[in-house]
A and B are shown apart, each in its own frame.
Chain A
Amino acid sequence: LTQDALTHSSPPLPVALLWQRGWPSAAQPFWSRIGDIAGVPRDDFAADFWSGRKDRCKQACRALADLLFAAGRGEEALSALMLAADPAEPQSFEIVLPQLAYAIELFWEWPTARVSRPHALQRLGVWWRAARGDFEEDDSSIFWITRLEMLDQDDPSDGLPPARELTKSEQEDEPEEPGIVVMPKDKATKLNNFQFEFKGLVDARLPLVRALDISAVRTQLLAEYPHAATAIGLVLRDLRQGEPVRLRPLLLTGPAGTGKSRLVRRLGDLLGIGVYRYDGSGASDSMFAGSPKGWGNTVPSAPARAVNQMRIANPILLIDEIEKAGTSSRNGRLWDALLPFLERETAGRYRDVSLDAELDLSWVLHIATANSIENLPDPLKDRYRVVRVPLPQLVDLPQLAANVLQELAVEAGEQGLTWPLAGDELEVIGRAWEKAGLSIRQLQKIVAATVEARNVTAVRH
């Protein structure tokens, strides 16, 4: 079992890529997956990776593959080589297909309910033809070619986006994925040296991540957060299959330890959207709205930083513990600074004082968490949809304990930890958990202690 199979119930990334409808939509989940890997400075490659120029892009993918292999992340590295595979250059498939075919057939384990091995191999058939040179004259990406080729086949893979009818023009060109220009050049002054990392944003068309496979996202979130079923339902209700992800500003509230922030992270993972976290408790207002250009050390607004880091127009901006920003008058201004970003019209033409440019930040997804909302000012509360995440209950224990156990095993890199908890162990855990207040953080501690005790006993015997 690879680590991936343990942490996700979805297929390994390279398999998931076989179903993407074009290069940009394959690039998105890859890009968000490699955001947090030590030794892989992803953002150094952003300009080339998203340049839209085949050669620069292939070079970036190959350089990323080398770094990812060096970091021990072979699945992501193979995904990078898949993104560099070019039908016009059949040899580029030779370093992808042997390992991909072998791994799909005999190596990777994944629950095959949604994506079965035969269906993955069926799609891979198109890649084999590309390796043989069948599409040498074609200028499209292998992802787009695969999609067109599979339209002719009976592909009953459940849960995956149904094929649309193609119009004539679509048959000739790979259509552009949805996207917008966040920073139009004609509404910006010249950037100074402090903002060189934002240069790539000028006039760049950034992708809008679309909601694919909403029902699978729902199933997965419900399995991980059985106690938050209502909240999950409300959040996902805004999404439309196949359309860019857009949510009204959302405020998750509930006692500490219900897993609110982690729920947001998982939502981002499953939708293939990067999450930019902003700590409400340590907040200073100038950092959120940005500081004016002309200051020595100027900082663009947090939503602009999120867009620039994720290279998508609709990243999730998570403000953690937003209620804590109210404890000093200085920090209190975070709340005022936030208001313009929460209205679509004002966020759509926000004048960033640091970049001295007008930005379209209307697609940024605003999610905040708060342990309580009593002290939040009304104007702010009015702009959020407030959703309660309750504490788990004892009936959620078996499922939550299993999740926690799995996380521990992955962290430790040990298979031995994944022994299921015995009935009596679960009972002991349940009693201790109830006493400790039924928070997920407490459950993590208790399960860890149980496993620890179990390992000590095992060594003695």
Chain B
Amino acid sequence: MSLAQAYLDRLLKLDVESYFNGRSPSALALKEAPVLESWWADIVCELKSDPPHLAGEIALLGHVTDHPKHADGQLIRTAALAWLDRHGKWARTRDGLYRLGHRSNAAESPR
């Protein structure tokens, strides 16, 4: 694992720890985070072995703005989520924080 990846993993762990302690991302962190509009949750399951079980992940699809790597308005699929806010205001993926706009009501996530 690269040092950079280890660093990101550590940040993620600290974030999750703060969520478990009842804290939400700070206003500043949310302000700087990319925004996902008209989003929906995409669940992918995969069969694993030893012991045989179904492993799943949830990612979000939606139109992004203010993302360092994507043009505004582009439809993207995020990395797997590590935390989805119960009020649907933000999401922490394995690589970063997103502020969430409106949930897409058209897309009952196409399975």
Which 3 A-B pairs give the minimum distances between C-beta atoms?
Answer: A128-B56, A74-B20, A125-B54
Identify 10 new A-B residue pairs, CB closer than 8 A, beyond the known A125-B54, A128-B56, A132-B43.
Answer: A62-B86, A77-B22, A95-B86, A98-B82, A98-B91, A102-B16, A118-B50, A129-B45, A132-B56, A154-B51
Provide the residues of chain A in CB contact with B21, threshold 8 Å. 72, 74
Residue contact B16 to A118, C-beta cutoff 8 Å: no
Contact A81 B86 (CB under 8 A): yes
Nearest CB on A from B51, distance (A): 5
Bound Cα distance from A198 to B50, whole angstroms: 51
User: Which secondary structure dominates where chain A touches chain B?
Assistant: helix
Cross-chain contact A99 with B16 (CB below 8 angstroms): yes
Interface size class of B (residues with CB under 8 A): 20 to 34
B33 at the interface (CB under 8 A from A): no
Any A CB within 8 A of the CB of B66: no
* A38 in the interface (beta carbon within 8 A): no
Number of A-B residue pairs having CB atoms within 8 Å of each other in the complex: 93
- Tell me the minimal C-beta distance from B95 to chain A in angstroms: 13
| B52–A153 CB distance below 8 A | yes
B53 touches A122 (CB 8 A): yes
Chain A residues in 8 Å Cβ range of B61: none
* Interface magnitude class on chain A: 35 or more
- Taking the closest CB of chain A, its distance from the CB of B84, in whole angstroms, is 5
Interface segment out of the listed A21-29, A63-71, A397-405: A63-71
Q: Is A107's CB under 8 angstroms from B16's CB?
A: yes
CA–CA, A94 and B83, complex, Å: 9
Q: Closest residue of chain B to A157, judged by CB?
A: B51
- Judge if A422 is at the interface, Cβ distance under 8 Å: no
Q: Smallest distance from the beta carbon of B44 to chain A beta carbons, Å?
A: 9
- Minimum Cβ distance to chain B for residue A70 (Å): 6
In Å, the complex CA distance between A244 and B75 comes to 55
Q: B43 to chain A: which residues have CB within 8 Å?
A: 128, 131-132
Question: B75-95 CB contact bits vs A (8 Å, 1 = yes)?
Answer: 000001111111010010000
* Residues on the A chain within 8 Å of B17, using CB: 2, 107
Q: Is A97 an interface residue (CB 8 A)?
A: yes
Q: Inside 8 A of A95's CB, which chain B residues have their CB? A: 84-86, 88
Q: Is the CB of B19 within 8 A of A118?
A: no
Report if A121-B85 is in contact (Cβ < 8 Å); known contacts: A69-B22, A103-B16, A131-B58.
no
Q: Which residues in chain A, 3-36, are within 8 Å of chain B measured between CB atoms?
A: none
Which residues of B are found within 8 Å of A69, using beta-carbon distances?
22
